[in-house]
Amino acid sequence: MGKRALDRAGVREPRLRRDYAQQQRAVRRYRPAEYAAARLLLPAGLLPHVMAAASFMHDTDDRIDHGAEDERAAALAEWDGLVRKAFAEGDSGLPVLRCLVHTAERHPEVRAHVEEFLRGCEREVAWRTLADEEELERYVREYSLPGLMLTACLIAPGDVSAREAFTDGCHRLIRGMQRVDFLEDLSEDVRAGRPGVPADAVARHGADLTLPGAALGRLVEEQAGRAAEDLAAAAPLAGFVDRAYRPFVRALVGVQRLRLDAVRRAGASLATRSSGPPATAAAVLLLRETAARTRRVPRAGSWVVSGK
């Protein structure tokens, strides 16, 4: 992570600076397109804190995503204890938690979202299948949305009414993202015995999630259509944040549309392979937003042009 970004974020201690750089690398590995959007489009002083929150979310998800339900529950209980200990002591033996604690000191609103996210992890640990749209909505509200808000709270507006509209937009965005996630990872999730496509939709189409076919193609298109509705409803989200953050929000929503397009092109072949946004299209999107951002002339005290 660049020296200027760490300086502007108030990260001074050498070990902590290395820790933040490690979190940046972790986010780059698991979400390269979204990472690139943050790296190019967020103000420098905010970037390390976004990386810290995003890395914590991913680390948590990875820790509780393997094994039988009792093993996952035990992993969550152990992790919950480590997180609480880190906050209580203001330090941790784990770099990801040292960064999280420091970020929460700089941005106190993060702590409440950590608590909500850890509560939501109980649903992530327990579910095996999602019966219907109602159950999918509970999953999104209790787990996916709190996970998004770990980072989204860092760019949320201060006005109460605007914040409510912003959170609603985040809900629509993450519901669309979660639908796309479940489709992208369909073959892997089926092998793990935890498909995220609602079971009633699978039954309605008579789809076999393990084999490409017309029924599965129709199911994918139906679920992709629902995701498209959510992403369209999330499009006004950029209007609720400070101008400094709008290019990033537009790019984030745009990347999800690219992921959705890739899912639609893959169709029934998702039974045997995953999908993701085309690198070239994602690069063009980010370059367009970066060019639009740099054309603006920053006023004194306003946002920083470069996120590097």
- H helix intervals, 211-278: 214-234, 246-266
CATH number corresponding to 132-295:
1.10.600.10
Both tokens of residue 153? Answer: 């709270």
What is the DSSP secondary structure assignment for residue 264, as one 8-state letter? H
Q: In CATH terms, are 1-126 and 132-295 the same topology?
A: yes
Both tokens of residue 222? Answer: 């139906």
Residue identified by tokens 């949320």 is 156
pLDDT digits (tens, 9 = 90+) for 66-121: 888 899 999 999 999 999 999 999 999 999 999 999 999 999 999 999 999 999 99
**What are the b/e assignments for 164-193, b being 16+ CB within 10 Å?**
eebbebbbbbbbbbbbbbbbbbbbebbeee
pLDDT of residue 305: 31
Return the domain boundaries, the chain.
1-126, 132-295
pTM of the model: 0.90
Both tokens of residue 290? Answer: 């970066």
Would you say domain 1-126 falls under CATH 3.30.230.70?
Answer: no
pLDDT of residue 295: 65
Q: What are phi and psi of 66, to 5 degrees?
A: -130, 145
pLDDT digits (tens, 9 = 90+) for 146-172: 999 999 999 999 888 899 999 999 999
DSSP 95-142: HHHHHHHHHHHHSTHHHHHHHHHHHHHHHHHH-S---SHHHHHHHIII
pLDDT of residue 296: 60
- 1 pLDDT above the threshold of 90: no
- 301 pLDDT above the threshold of 50: no
Amino acid found at 115:
E
Both tokens of residue 137? Answer: 């909505």
- 307 pLDDT above the threshold of 70: no
